Structure 1
Amino acid sequence: YHFVGKDITRFHCVIWPAMLMAAGLPVTHTVFGHGFLLTKGEKMSKSKGNGMKPADLVKIFGVDAYRYYFMSDVQFGHDGNISMERMVQVYNADLANTWGNLCSRVFNMTKKYFDGKVPEVPADAAARVANPMLPIAEGLYAKYDACLGQVDFTGAAAAVQELAGRVNLYVEESAPWNLAKKEETAGDLAAVIYNSLEAIRIIALYMAPFMPNTSAEVFSRLGLGKIAACTDIEAATKWGQLPAGNAVTVGDPLFPRLNMDEIDLDAE
């Protein structure tokens, strides 16, 4: 792929390939013209004074959330109409409420019910307790790979969020806080917590290209090695690779909620 702005495609699609061929150099297979970032329907420019500085946004959202927003909410290849309100909305919905909240609640329950260790699941409980995340996780690589092959970052991020949303729903449906009240459902509790932790491990791997620092932190809290060592994502995301007995760390919230009323971009 050769990425260019959509307003300079003539040079890069005609003149530049001709120059490469004349020099006996290889020509790119695909020229991809990306769109413009717009604010209130207008292209950002210095003369209009409607620009948004990346450094200012990073101070508010952090590097990973900044990256995630532009990869997930702005369809690559099209013009993207961005606003602070929309950034906060996506941050709170996808990261604070879904991904960050999932990690926080499952890590806390692991600490509370299993002394901060990945539980060992009894064979009978593993066979008895439903795992609705498994088919989603097993089909995720094909969706994710196809999206990235088509430079559809938004589609890839949405596919991962589908799994994250299903795990949150799974926790609500399974109600581990009720299972913990009875000794006879201890095995079921272990299965629910293990399934949730394993789904988090898999989500972290798929989120790594978007949010490398956050995924590395999640891996660390799961007691795993460096996430950068997982070079074969298809193999690394096979279900059931989280070792029982791993120490799980709760840590601070990954994405504290933001209040639009408390953000002062000018002050940043």
Structure 2
Amino acid sequence: MKNFYITTPIYYVNDFPHIGHAYTSIAADVIARFKRLDGFKVHFLTGTDEHGQKIQKSAEKANIETQKFVDSFAANFQKLSQQLNLSNDDFIRTTEERHIRFVKKVWQTLYDKGYIYLAKYSGWYAVRDEAFYQEAELIKGKAPTGAEVEWVEEESYFFKLSAFEEKLLNFYNDNPNFVAPESRKNEVISFVKLGLKDLSISRTTFRWGIPVPGDEKHVMYVWLDALFNYLSAIDSAQTFLPCDLHLIGKDILRFHAVYWPAFLMAAGFELPKRVFAHGWWTNEGVKISKSLGNVIDPLKLVEKFGLDYVRYFLMRAIPFGNDGNYSESQFVQLTNAELANNIGNLAQRVIAFVNKNCDSKIPAFDAFSREDQQLLILSEQVHANMQKFIDNQEISEAIEAIVGLSKAANSYIDLNAPWQLKKTDLTRMNTVLYVLLEVIRKIAILLQPFVPDSAGALLDLLNIEKRNFSDLSTRLQPKAPIKEAKPIFLRHT
């Protein structure tokens, strides 16, 4: 059994979860579930980033002790994992002792190897981004993200990032799939080619962070602290290294594709195999912001439409990696067309027909016709196609493979018309129904990573116990009982 290690970013706990958090988490969950069903031993990690000046300021503003502040917000993200039906194996918090202990060891290693030195920092810093910016990066006096910046001068420890410029460029060249999509890779390479300056990795003007070993008036820069969650969480399960896939938003690409591999090179750890940066969502065509009051609460969507429909829409509506727009009318149109009308209606009409005309048992089949064989062969090819899509993080395209199969099955049932065969050729009717039930079984198994509850309910109707992808190669047993049809996917208005 091969290992597969996948992570979300750890989410910053200065606010409530929003659609961006749900989007990354569901994508990681889909991939993790797919890999498990495909026979991999998966470790799926998510968690919360709980240190830094922004957290301290937010707690002070709320007049709450900082640890209590992060505890309450971390609980919101832990609850989100449950409410989104995530299958994460661990949830890491950077205020946990296991993480703090690990990061202190890493700091000492970097210091002992000569990659950390003490000097004075002066430059532009954005508290909101917890990031340093060069003068040339500022746009109208603000960070590229639009965050306010302030001039900071203080004693600081530095990481010798400049020593890794050539090493990083060589690594990108030798590992062309390390950063994806392609546009993001080009962005990273261009940034490194502009020249890397040593990175300030400690602060003395606030206290909410991990103290620097041997010099506790300094606390570690939040990104040095946070990135090592990917290792601290599996310190006792090193067999999962190197990480197969870091899923992140495009706003934190630099930290993961430049700083992170440099830290790992310096500390002597294996580098991850891939960093994939997805896009952002707008709301009805408008940029999402708290000031506009158009932040999308994923849990309210779940409450209104149901979890599997939300999971499906977010994974299906746009190619993963692109920016996307949330539109309620598009949500309703897409889920109605593909889940209710296409897949749901196919299953409902076939199972109900078998209930009525075959005593709720899998019918026996005779010799397969050419069109029977074509549909069955198509159904057997879908899994292999989906494997390629998932390994490239082409999640919407993986769903399209299932949708295409269900469309083919709907065309097949209309062409063969078992309700007509009932009057003229019962043997042929039974064969057609068997082929359709077999295709529905495969569709349900393949749908599990995306809509786990609904796919499970559909498999329950067929009394299917073996649900791994390795079971796709088996066939339904004639005369086996099935349950009474009931709607699996409902229409929304």
The superposition leaves residues 90-136 of structure 1 with CA deviations (integer Å, 9 ceiling, x where unpaired) of 011000100110110011000111011001113xxx24473131231
Asked if 1:248 is matched to 2:489, the reply is no
Look up the SS of the partner of 1:4 in the other structure. Answer: strand
| TM-fit CA distance, 1:176 | 0.6
Which amino acid letter does the alignment assign opposite residue 220 of structure 1?
Answer: D
2:457 pairs with one of 191, 213, 217: 217
Asked if 1:8 is matched to 2:252, the reply is yes
Asked if 1:165 is matched to 2:407, the reply is yes
| TM-fit CA distance, 1:225 | 0.9
- 2 CA distance for matches of 1:226 and 1:188? 28
**Contact 1:129–1:191 (Cα < 8 Å) also in 2:** no
Aligned to 1:81: 325
Structure 2 CA distance for partners of 1:100 and 1:127, relative to 1, 3 Å: closer
Gaps of 5+ in 2: 1-244
Which 10-residue stretch deviates more, 249-258 or 101-110? 249-258
Aligned to 1:137: 379
- 2 CA distance for matches of 1:129 and 1:26? 52
Superposed, 1:193-232 pairs within 5 Å as 193-225=433-465, 227=467, 230=468
Gaps of 5+ in 1: 260-268
Structure 2 CA distance for partners of 1:111 and 1:251, relative to 1, 3 Å: closer
Which amino acid letter does the alignment assign opposite residue 21 of structure 1?
Answer: M
The superposition leaves residues 16-45 of structure 1 with CA deviations (integer Å, 9 ceiling, x where unpaired) of 122222222221111111110111333322
| TM-fit CA distance, 1:7 | 1.3
Aligned to 1:147: 389
Q: Tell me the TM-score normalized by structure 1.
A: 0.88
Which 10-residue stretch deviates more, 151-160 or 246-255? 246-255
The superposition leaves residues 124-169 of structure 1 with CA deviations (integer Å, 9 ceiling, x where unpaired) of xx24473131231132123111111110001000011000011111
Asked if 1:237 is matched to 2:481, the reply is no
Q: Tell me the TM-score normalized by structure 2.
A: 0.49
Which 10-residue stretch deviates more, 193-202 or 203-212? 203-212
Number of residue pairs matched? 248
- 2 CA distance for matches of 1:250 and 1:74? 35
1:70 pairs with one of 286, 304, 314: 314
Structure 1 outlier segments of 4+, above 6 Å: none
The superposition leaves residues 47-71 of structure 1 with CA deviations (integer Å, 9 ceiling, x where unpaired) of 1111221111112221111111111
**Contact 2:409–2:436 (Cα < 8 Å) also in 1:** yes
Structure (1/2) with the larger strand percentage? 2
Which amino acid letter does the alignment assign opposite residue 173 of structure 1?
Answer: L
Superposed, 1:36-185 pairs within 5 Å as 36-122=280-366, 126-128=367-369, 130-131=371-372, 132-182=374-424, 185=425
| TM-fit CA distance, 1:75 | 1.6
Aligned to 1:262: none
- 2 CA distance for matches of 1:43 and 1:5? 15
The CA RMSD over aligned residues, in Å, is 1.5
- 1 CA distance for matches of 2:290 and 2:491? 31
**Contact 2:280–2:322 (Cα < 8 Å) also in 1:** yes
**Contact 1:214–1:254 (Cα < 8 Å) also in 2:** yes
Identity of aligned residues (%): 36
- 1 CA distance for matches of 2:253 and 2:274? 12
Structure number, greater radius of gyration: 2
Higher RCO (C-alpha 8 Å, min separation 6): 1
Look up the SS of the partner of 1:180 in the other structure. Answer: helix
| TM-fit CA distance, 1:74 | 2.1
Asked if 1:188 is matched to 2:432, the reply is no
Structure 2 CA distance for partners of 1:196 and 1:9, relative to 1, 3 Å: same
